[in-house]
Amino acid sequence: MTEFGFSIHEDLMIDQDKRSPIWEAVLEKVPSVATCISCGSCSATCISSDQTGYGFRKLIVLLRNGKYKQLEKALEYCQFCGKCSLVCPRGINTRKAILEMKKYLKVHPHDTI
């Protein structure tokens, strides 16, 4: 292969034509995640968001768009304190949803999906 002396930047385009199997799996187990309105209450109240920049809202965005590598990393920060579920105005069972994401990724690591 010809070496051009530069590399092409990682493709940042979100491909909505691709299915997101984890999203579908989580949606089946915790249907309330579909009602997320991205208000950000969860991330604002999250005990680790100050340091990590992640909150439940961001997990949903990553999940929907199939950014599994980032999602796997973000999930490690969750301490299951449940504050996000306390503030959620849509009453989403956030802890259950995170647990389901973790369970799915344990069986199917992100690079195998």
Q: How far apart are CA 66 and CA 101, in angstroms?
A: 12
Q: How far apart are CA 20 and CA 18, in angstroms?
A: 7
Nearer to another protein among residue 26 and residue 74 (C-beta):
74
Q: How far apart are CA 2 and CA 4, in angstroms?
A: 6
CB of 13: closest distance to another protein in angstroms? 18
How does DSSP classify residue 109?
-
The closest alpha carbon to 57, from 45, 68, 69, belongs to 45
**In the structure encoding, which two tokens stand for residue 30, read together?**
């915790």
CB of 9: closest distance to another protein in angstroms? 20
Nearer to another protein among residue 88 and residue 104 (C-beta):
88
CB of 8: closest distance to another protein in angstroms? 25
Q: How far apart are CA 53 and CA 40, in angstroms?
A: 12
Residues that bind another protein (CB under 8 A): 37-46, 49-50, 53, 55, 57-58, 86-91
Nearer to another protein among residue 30 and residue 88 (C-beta):
88
Nearer to another protein among residue 46 and residue 104 (C-beta):
46
CB of 48: closest distance to another protein in angstroms? 10
